[in-house]
Chain A
């Protein structure tokens, strides 16, 4: 040959590295991100000249790559020469003007490298390469995700934009995540050495968390968190303990795991994972620590713990106080309307939370804490304690008449009455229908309801047809023989409607909201429900009396009335949750004493056991 001196040298050196199983150097050799150094440019020149795209080029190039695989292995590692061939073609054809094509070629290249990774003997040699390619692909996919304009013209040209309507869009980021997940599985299922949760990170298993973290990053980016579930399950079942891996991988993994658990409303384990990520994160890695904190703090707030001044004054917490402190103050204040307005979707105060993806979680999970504070305040000022003396003797327990709550809620509602320029003025208006506490815009189905009885019935045939047309004159129906029969538009299948349709009207409310008393009864029922929920969750201690609704706090002599009626939130939740300290997805080293014991999940062979009582 002699016409491709650089390529010759490249392949010869690569073969040497493969022989030595030097994965890191192999990766170092397979450069592909522009700008390429001079020597690579020269190789690209040779490729374009000697192996220009043509019918036989592929086969010729593959022939050049085949000697790369050690002959002693009988050439069984065929995936590798094919991979190097694809790599060379990628270099030859790389066109940064068409990033979509570049993306597709790169994905194919990564796919092939993952196939090469699958080899039980040699696969580990390409592990660093697979990681490198995964990172480059992830970077490109995420870049294009942020700047779709870069490839919009190409998509248009290829008619891709038109397909987007009906089928669920699989973004480039998600596609990349799927390829990276394949690499992750190859790493996780490596059988060399001691595999499984008692094993060490050796062979391809050293790549488990590198691949998992990259895959998680992509899944978070494309909002397909659900797809991570299987990954965490496989890790729980098959991975060596996380503690055996380097700090950077541990912290990154615990961050994503914590966010995943948070997203699944598993706040207690999420807190453990995020706190561990924070504790193990390098103290100078401010950005990462800050990101961990932005999820660790809301997680703790939901569990009833607020960030301290000391924490909020740390450098990595800069800017977090302005978001979380007002929220904490609102929880303490117990003004549920102010709380809702603060986290009203679209309000400026909610924006940051929405962008972090924690708005709805905070709104849904913290409101119960707001109600607890509210109830506590009303109890403080409106409860009857029976006097200190009554406490000492055998008197009735301290009680709170829930009528006081109705008064307090009405008062809050007046305080927040729409001023006309508030951001969420619908929220404080008292309702004519439905909830007296939750004031949401009326459901579309019910917004026609008018008048005190809350129903409007259609008066004329025309109205009846307009409302029930899909039933009375459907597009098709089944005959008595059960055959489908199309129907002419507007044709009444069963003749003229004669019935009184009042009975079919939507009226979801069983009571008559004629006057204030009815509304107050309705509100009382809601307040009883909220109190019952607080008691069930252990956030309030006591019981409810339904006739003349009251909340009673018995047995308050030892701890005092307020600590008994309104126990500490964090202590209540952590006492309940810490029975199970394990975090799903986090593999812990097994304590040596436990290994021998017949623990959960272990099969105990009883073949040699004797029946009870037999000596």
Chain B
């Protein structure tokens, strides 16, 4: 029997950079085109900035300390 259709051909392809235009709203978690990758390929490369994983991703202090005039007027 000759080789049937090439089902798994795409399994060896590298993930392609995708067009941001087609991002919009597919809620399905797609299969990955590759099975496994080393952790280095999961980390961000930030060009010139150091890639030490310490990039500031979350704001923990967000309280608003600025004077809110309308507020203070009401509470006199």
Contact = CB atoms under 8 A, between A and B. Distances in A.
Contacts of A281: 42
Given A287-B23, A407-B74, A311 B37 contact: no
Nearest to B30: A287
Contacts of A31: 4-5, 7
Contact of A282 (B15, B62, B68, B72): B15
B75 A408 contact: yes
Interface size bracket, A side: 35 or more
B48 interface: no
B52 interface: no
A291 B27 contact: yes
Nearest to B74: A411
Interface string B60-76: 11111100100110110
A40 interface: yes
Contacts of B56: 308, 310
Contacts, number: 145
B42 A377 contact: no
**Interface residues of B: mostly helix, strand, loop or mixed?**
loop
B42 A568 contact: no
Given A31-B5, A281-B42, A287-B18, A318 B75 contact: no
Contacts of B43: 279, 283
A290 B58 contact: no
A408 B71 contact: yes
A570 B61 CA distance: 8
B71 A300 contact: no
Interface stretch (A161-169, A245-253, A520-528): A245-253
B74 A28 contact: no
A411 to B, nearest CB: 5
A378 B20 contact: no
A428 to B, nearest CB: 16
B71 A252 contact: no
Nearest to B59: A306
B25 to A, nearest CB: 8
Contacts of B75: 378, 381-382, 404, 407-408
Contacts of B58: 300, 305-308, 311, 570
A156 to B, nearest CB: 29
Nearest to A415: B70
Contact of B1 (A39, A256, A378): A39
A529 interface: no
B69 to A, nearest CB: 10
Most buried by B among A40, A282, A404: A282
Contact of B32 (A252, A256, A291, A328): A252
Contacts of A29: 1, 4
Contacts of A332: 62-64
B2 interface: yes
B17 interface: yes
Nearest to B53: A279
A318 B28 contact: no
Contact of A571 (B60, B65, B68): B60
B10 interface: no
A381 B64 CA distance: 13
A430 interface: no
19 contacts: A10-B1, A31-B4, A31-B5, A37-B5, A248-B37, A280-B42, A282-B32, A286-B18, A287-B30, A310-B57, A315-B20, A377-B64, A377-B71, A378-B71, A407-B74, A408-B74, A408-B75, A566-B63, A568-B61
Interface of B: 1-5, 7-8, 14-18, 20, 23-24, 26-32, 34-37, 39, 41-45, 55-65, 68, 71-72, 74-75
Given A280-B42, A284-B14, 9 more contacts: A28-B7, A39-B4, A217-B29, A248-B34, A251-B32, A282-B32, A283-B44, A300-B58, A377-B64
Interface of A: 9-10, 13, 28-29, 31, 36-37, 39-40, 132, 142, 217, 221, 246-248, 251-252, 255-256, 279-288, 290-291, 300, 304-308, 310-311, 314-315, 318-319, 328, 331-334, 355-356, 373, 376-378, 380-382, 404, 407-408, 411, 562, 566, 568, 570-571
